[in-house]
Amino acid sequence: MRITIFGATGGTGKHLLDQALSAGHQVTAVVRDPAKVTREHPGLAVVRADVMDPADIRPHIAGRDAVISAIGSTSLRNPTAVQTDSTASILDAMGAAGVRRFLVVSNGGIVTDGDDVLTRRLVKPIMWRFLKHPWTDMQRMEEIVRASSADWTIIRPPRLTEGPRTGRYRSAVERAVRGGMKISRADLADSILRSLHDDSSIRSAIAVAD
């Protein structure tokens, strides 16, 4: 499959890039700084482009089978629209290029359906106090994705760790994974690629957690 990945130099993106290449996909990594991609592979093309400019990224989306965004926000103190704006730009470019399949990473903290009482009433409200800005950005991003005509899948992980890829994790559709407090970045990447091949995940938000 021919895939374009945004956010390939991030913590999750690096695992996603490695796993996609190992699975035999042809990958285009769209990045701001190509020097940050140290992986070399005959199936990998690394290009510099501005994700916020649909015209700039459209040539690197055209002809692909799917687009994946693992772009994340690191802003905790100030309002941010990194995920909202980058996703809107990617969807714009996809529409112009005639590409439909889109997968994007969000966060399980922004939903409480399916949570136990303690998590719903205590844990997540406290986390919202500290993560208000990036989580608000993710909420807006999800609204844009759901309003689009793309064949989208939203992936919602909880706290990310640097653990190994195990392939053993739980998932839930349009609700939280009960008691799911963490998942490794490697397993998150695994879940994204599994969803890529799962047509039942299209136009759904999938929570994943250990």
Q: What is the pLDDT of residues 3-36, one digit of tens each?
A: 999 999 999 999 999 999 999 999 999 999 999 9
Is the pLDDT score of 115 beyond 80?
no
Torsion of CA 23, 28, 33, 39, to 10 degrees: 30
DSSP 123: I
Structure-token pair, residue 148: 């689009």
Is the pLDDT score of 113 beyond 90?
no
User: How many separate domains does the chain show?
Assistant: 1
Structure-token pair, residue 158: 């909880």
Residue numbers of the domain that contains 35: 2-209
Q: What is the CATH number of the domain that holds 92?
A: 3.40.50.720
Helix (H, G, I), strand (E, B) or coil at 184: strand
What pLDDT does 118 receive? 73
What pLDDT does 187 receive? 98
Lookup result for tokens 């692909």: 64
Cα–Cα distance, 160 to 153 (Å, whole number): 19
What pLDDT does 135 receive? 86
What pLDDT does 124 receive? 80
What average pLDDT score do residues 147-160 get?
A: 97
CB 157 within 8 A of CB 183: yes
Task: From 210, 162, 176, 170, select the one nearest 194 (Cα to Cα).
Answer: 170
Is the pLDDT score of 160 beyond 90?
yes
Cα–Cα distance, 103 to 101 (Å, whole number): 7
Lookup result for tokens 């938000």: 205
What pLDDT does 128 receive? 74
Which amino acid does the sequence have at 13? G
Q: How many helices (H) and strands (E) does the chain have?
A: 6, 10
Cα–Cα distance, 26 to 4 (Å, whole number): 9
Is the pLDDT score of 74 beyond 90?
no
Cα–Cα distance, 153 to 203 (Å, whole number): 5
Name which of 13-27, 71-85, 93-107, 193-207 the model is least confident about.
Answer: 71-85
Strands lying side by side in the sheet with 204-209: 44-48, 26-31, 2-6, 66-69, 101-105, 151-156, 204-209, 170-173
Q: CB count, 10 Å around CB of 22?
A: 11
What average pLDDT score do residues 132-151 get?
A: 95
CB 33 within 8 A of CB 51: no
Confidence grade of residue 111 (pLDDT, cut at 50, 70, 90) = confident
Is the pLDDT score of 122 beyond 90?
no
What pLDDT does 76 receive? 77
Structure-token pair, residue 135: 């989580």
Confidence grade of residue 171 (pLDDT, cut at 50, 70, 90) = very high
Is the pLDDT score of 142 beyond 80?
yes
